[in-house]
Amino acid sequence: MAITRDYYEVLGVEKSADADDIKRAYRRLAMKYHPDRNPGDAEAEAKFKEAAEAYEVLSDSNRRQQYDQYGHAGLRGTPGHDFRTMDPQDIFSMFDEIFGGGGLGGFGRAGGGQRGRRGGVARGYDLETEAEITLEQVFAGTAVDVDFTRLDVCPTCNGDGAKPGTERRPCTACGGQGQVAQTGLGGMFRMVTSCPHCRGAGTIIAEPCTECRGRGRVPKRRKLSVNIPAGVHDGQAVCLRGEGEPPAPELSPTGQGIRGDLHVRVRVSHHKWFQRDGDNILMEIPISFSQAALGAEVEIPTIDGESHVLKVPRGTQFGQVIKMSGRGLPSLRSKRRGDMLVIAKIEIPKKLNDRQEELLRQYAETEDLSVMPESGSFWSRIKDMLHGGKDE
């Protein structure tokens, strides 16, 4: 199971860090691990995406407050973008303002305007949230409700960002071209990038929409029922096509194009009796010495909710595994059930009554093994030693 690291640890900042500290830390990591600076380095790309995930949460005051109070579990109702499956250039474009529109030293910006496009059609970002289920629900399959927030096209301005009835005006920074030229190394090279002022649109908003404040997108709460198949494993995700966000405003103001997807990552809660090993179920049961030695029939629960009589063979050893075929979890693909593996834990009684001790001592004599003397005789010898009695 993959463990999500602490977001403050990812960015290398203290929990008391302010917004500027978090922004600087993210910019430093993004520049260090950007795939264009580390071609073919899968580890660098993973760290680039991990830093983006951490920054998205910690740069949002509301989500940061939830994270500080409840950890990763507090973010389940406010899903973030699925950075693990996202193209690095799409991640780059999301936080473009951090790098002044000029990119990471010019990396990944040539041919701007194709970000978020697949085959020429604008595509929105994927989102990810979590759903927790029980092991019994893994066995039977289940439907769970997920409540999340996503960005949708502003209904007031239809995604334009401008106040209805007003018009955009040409961007003065790029002259309405949407691109600006930058030079470096004393004029030895020239590079054309998207205009940081208008973000490549060529126009700017004169009067922002009062509902979306010029963003063209507004947060919208949504609730869905998600079917979780039987046999699903912890950490696996169910993909809901088209339930992510619409294309970014700079690609498609009205949201026309392909919506992103919603990935619902499954988390399986701890069970008080059972443990999972693939499609097998493990369970420890306590048995007495006599049951282990003589054999017994013990009634135990199973994952399907029914009780089953387990036959403990004679001479069962501590830690011995007794297999119950076909009593485990169904395979996600074949639906064939795994096995239930019962581990015998022999319990030694801490107290014996007189009859039990007498019988056990008689048994010990047949083993020809040395055992502790009876308690009365033992303490009598201790008293004799303390009070000057002779040792035999």
H helical segments located in the chain: 7-11, 19-33, 42-58, 61-70, 88-94, 135-140, 289-294, 354-367, 375-386
Q: What are the pLDDT digits (tens) for 10-27?
A: 999 998 889 888 888 888
Class assignment of domain 125-152+210-270? mainly beta
The pLDDT of residue 84: 72
CATH fold, domain 1-115, is Helix Hairpins (1.10.287)
In this structure, of 185-189, 218-222, 270-274, the range with the lowest mean pLDDT score is: 185-189
Q: What are the pLDDT digits (tens) for 250-288?
A: 888 899 999 999 999 999 999 999 999 999 999 999 999
3-state secondary structure of 172: coil
Q: What are the pLDDT digits (tens) for 50-66?
A: 888 888 889 888 888 88
Q: How are beta strands 121-122 and 142-153 bridged, if at all?
A: unpaired
Tell me the pLDDT of the chain averaged across its residues: 83
pTM: 0.66
Of 172, 176, 174, 168, nearest to 205 by C-alpha is 168
Confidence of residue 299 (pLDDT cuts 50, 70, 90): very high
CB of 180 closer than 8 Å to CB of 195: yes
Return the amino acid letter for 310.
Answer: L
Q: Tell me, yes or no, if the two domains 125-152+210-270 and 274-347 fold the same way.
A: yes
Domain 274-347 superfamily per CATH:
Urease metallochaperone UreE, N-terminal domain (2.60.260.20)
Of 28, 87, 89, nearest to 55 by C-alpha is 28
Q: Where are the domains of the chain?
A: 1-115, 125-152+210-270, 274-347, 354-386
Contacts of residue 247, defined as CB under 8 A and 6 or more positions apart, other chains included, come to: 116, 122, 123, 124, 255, 256, 257, 258, 259
CB of 244 closer than 8 Å to CB of 107: no
CA–CA dist 204, 314 (Å, integer): 84
List the beta bridge partners of residue 299. Answer: 309
